[in-house]
Amino acid sequence: MTDFTLMQILPILLGVVVTSIIAGILAGLLGVGGGIVLVPMLFWILSLTDFPPELAMHMSVATSLMTIVFTSVSSARAHHRRGSVDTALLKLWGPGIILGALSGGLLAKYINADGLKLIFGGIALLVAINMANPKTIVLSKSLPSGRAGNAVISYVVGTFSSLMGIGGGTLSVPILSACSVEIKRAVGTAAAFGFLIAVPAVIGFVISGWGVPGRPPFSLGFISLPAALLILPFTVSFAPVGASLAHKLDGKWIKRAFALFLGITAIRMLSAGLT
């Protein structure tokens, strides 16, 4: 690994701290779990070093998921106190999300770094376009009535959220909104989905990365424990701030600004995956 001087490492640490605060606020504000910010941030920081490029994306995704285990609890509790977590929906989608998240974590071993970049960039770009749209896309007046349809949707959400290192909100909120679920209820429930995604996904990434050579010290599978410990205090502390803002602000312009950031990030990630 590259030896850093104090003047080199301080801006990196400051960048991690600032991004972690933003990730925590967004986790509560939009129900996105923070991973949509953390994954590209960790990846670009690792790319500044001579860290093995074939591991950088896997480590970024897995470490993000580790932080989401705790951030999602903080965010979900804040939303639950405001009555915006739909427990019936949580029970309906929970099994599919858990199974999908575990599948994604285990599948990661067989997907190379460029593949993960393309998955992240492609889905992030679609999400950015959807968030930038001033009108909510409505496809149905309600969720599918049968368990099979809900099982398929939740499994897909769990699988791709795991492979991207994100909480449930990035994918589930647009889907729930398209099925006419009220936005605050969708965001609050998505915050709880984050925990159901992160725990099995972390298990999958630990198993997938176990014994893989080239990982940094104090790694648990593909998870960097020091990075997770640095990020966690800030994401957990600021998730309730975002949840409070979600109930006070008109999120239209916040969503559009985030969509712009996400679109730029997605294009950069796609470019990295294709070169």
Q: What pLDDT digit, counting tens, does each position of 111-139 carry?
A: 998 999 999 999 889 888 887 877 767 77
Angle at 196 (CA atoms; ends 28, 22), nearest 5 degrees? 25
Instruction: Return mean pLDDT, the chain.
Output: 84
Model pTM above 0.85: no
CA atoms within 13 Å, Cβ hemisphere of 192: 22
Residue type, 254: I
Mean pLDDT of 47-73: 86
**Cross-strand partners of 224:** 219
Is the pLDDT at 61 greater than 90? The verdict is yes
Residue 191 parent element (H or E): helix 183-209
Q: Which two tokens mark 107?
A: 């599948």
Tokens at 17, concatenated: 């701290």
What does the alpha-carbon distance between residue 242 and residue 226 come to, in Å, rounded to a whole number? 25
**Predicted local confidence at residue 1, as pLDDT:** 43
Three-class secondary structure assignment of 197-254? HHHHHHHHHHHHHCCCCCCCCCEECCEEHHHHHHHHHHHHHHHHHHHHHHCCCCCHHH
DSSP 136-195: -----SSS-SSHHHHHHHHHHHHHHHHHHT--THHHHHHHHHHTT--HHHHHHHHHHHHH
How far apart CA 162 and CA 193 sit, in angstroms, is: 12
Dihedral angle of Cα 93, 64, 187, 239, to the nearest 10 degrees: 140
Confidence of residue 217 (pLDDT cuts 50, 70, 90): confident
Between vectors from CA 242 to CA 238 and to CA 245, what angle results, nearest 5°?
140
Q: Please give the residue that has the higher pLDDT: either 95 or 272.
A: 95
pLDDT digits (tens, 9 = 90+) for 169-179: 778 888 888 88
**2-6, 168-172, 207-211, range with greatest mean pLDDT:** 207-211
Kindly write down the DSSP assignment for every residue of 109-134, as one continuous string. Answer: GGS-HHHHHHHHHHHHHHHHHHHH-S
Residue 249, pLDDT above cutoff 90: no
- Give the domain ranges of the chain: 7-274
- In this prediction, residue 2 has a pLDDT band, given cuts at 50, 70 and 90, of very low
Quick count: other Cβ atoms within 10 Å of Cβ 84? 23
Q: What is the mean pLDDT of residues 99-118?
A: 93
Interatomic CA distance for residues 88 and 86, integer angstroms: 6
What percent of the chain clears pLDDT 90, i.e. is strictly above it? 31
Rounded Cα gap, residues 61 and 123, in angstroms: 14
Which of the four pLDDT bands, split at 50, 70 and 90, describes residue 74? confident
**Do residues 48 and 4 make contact, with C-beta atoms less than 8 angstroms apart?**
no
Planar angle of CA 127, 132, 136, nearest 5 degrees:
85
Instruction: Kindly tell me if the per-residue pLDDT of 250 is higher than 80.
Output: no
Determine the average pLDDT of the residues in 89-109.
94
Using CA atoms, how far apart are residues 24 and 51, in angstroms rounded to an integer? 26
Q: Is the pLDDT of residue 260 over 60?
A: yes
